[in-house]
Structure 1
């Protein structure tokens, strides 16, 4: 079965027909996505599934990944944190390294396309090597309150694009270019989200030595301090005296995130004495993540800063209630009291965990509402539609009404 036929069974044939009508005038043109890693993190996951949808719609779509040294990714991790408001500084030599690596990648990669999408700050300076086409900067992080020095360095690059895309309107900046809001989304047919049999779930849990003898509280994320894994452990310790449960912290690190190993070591140290805390530093194992989410009683995403947090939509799609930090794009997915709860502290998370463990019927109702919410708003078919609208808008920036 084709991807589009599979989506028609979930979102309806009319929605798929809309995609086909939007794509038809764009056939014969070329599209290129560029980011900083082929695996690990939400951007790579989105592109892994979005590019095939575009191709099935008859569009010539490619995906390139920049290369960089560990020192380069140290710099871009600082950019990432600074765009999210962290007070940090960089030396002139580090800015020079950023420019140089982007120049090297511009010579190495084939950047020729009618439409070029550059994802996040790591490859943003590729715009300086633009030779043609329309270019769009896709910022996946919360850049609403960036550190001034880093933003002033990046701003001239961003202003050179034809358009910019943010996950939420509040993330945008005052820019002299077109700006669009496109929240990210999940693919319900990927290994991470497809339906699993009980046997597949049991096999995956056995592989990672996670028993199902008590309710599982789960957080899936990279080992990143902004995901607050230490705060999750603190919340679990507050719940444990009142409700017997297991905590699973599952994830890995991305090639462009040099802080991951340090955070993982801190998490392991904090969890070391409790056999009911499972810290799983996993390779790319989407089926196992799927199984853990389906086996969980409650899923957490207790981030302190978050661009969007696709793991929340993944859990909601699997009918799990989600307790999340009230930051970034998480409130778009977690509707307070309907699909889960938003919290501001480990104490708040612990209170909501205890409440849901005591009220399983409420947890099931929240899970069903969560799946319906994701079907309407956060499947990749909707994101593909938004990108197609964006392409038409970039083609005709002066028109307020576009007729196909």
Structure 2
């Protein structure tokens, strides 16, 4: 069946439908990863978005559920150049198309993903529609696409109840803003005793459980929308508990301490983004997925200092907080699959927790 991708600027791309056959409106973004399409699909940070994969062949190794970053895919739509209808992988459990149908996610293939990506890079990420209706009316559709915004994203993806992953090491409280499973795995394999809290848990409850450290996870949407969570994070900041934050958590900590954020033109999404450690001058390759960034000039100089920058566009990739045991990064040190260059940040967090506990 024919399918159409309609962008808010009036571009229309004709392709073939795969996955669920339904009509959706979403924010259209692109991801430059060469592998890991299941990890991309199951990353809660993509809630409300239709993702264009720049790598031309998707689905060739099927779906291996062990690799999923959450219990379900979060994309509104999946946009690819070529979908592999038959996969080859000894770990495969099902085909990608069947997986998308199972979770009611529409896909479109046979479109020029290079052309779509060039449009998004030139004009920025934008509203879009995937539809199988050949009688679409642009005059009716385009205003809806221009008006579309991803809202209530964290509330949609966060868990409903507190969960516990036992360990014999430091007690870590992980605030689930849309966490990826590999953040939990990265802590667990280092022996941490991890308790995962819903995003809207009060600081009093978290601190009342007497954690040795607190992690703020990744997540979707505009960080400024999370006003209730920001208030609680400010209370966590005021405590003496070591904190490590990733992606959305990094942005929310900045907002809680007086900095500002802004939406990027097209964001950073992929497994090949270079970041520079300003303390050592070393450059790491990182995995990233974000559409918002902290404004450099907004950071109170007595509160935090920039620790990492993006080599490509000089945007902020990390902050160290002064007179606090708090470190935050915009990229994903838990990336899987993807570069493992920055996994050492979990080891440093472990050392900070142990040092604080023995002080």
Q: TM-score under structure 2 normalisation? A: 0.32
Q: Which has the larger radius of gyration?
A: 1
More helix by share: 1
More strand by share: 2
Q: TM-score under structure 1 normalisation? A: 0.29
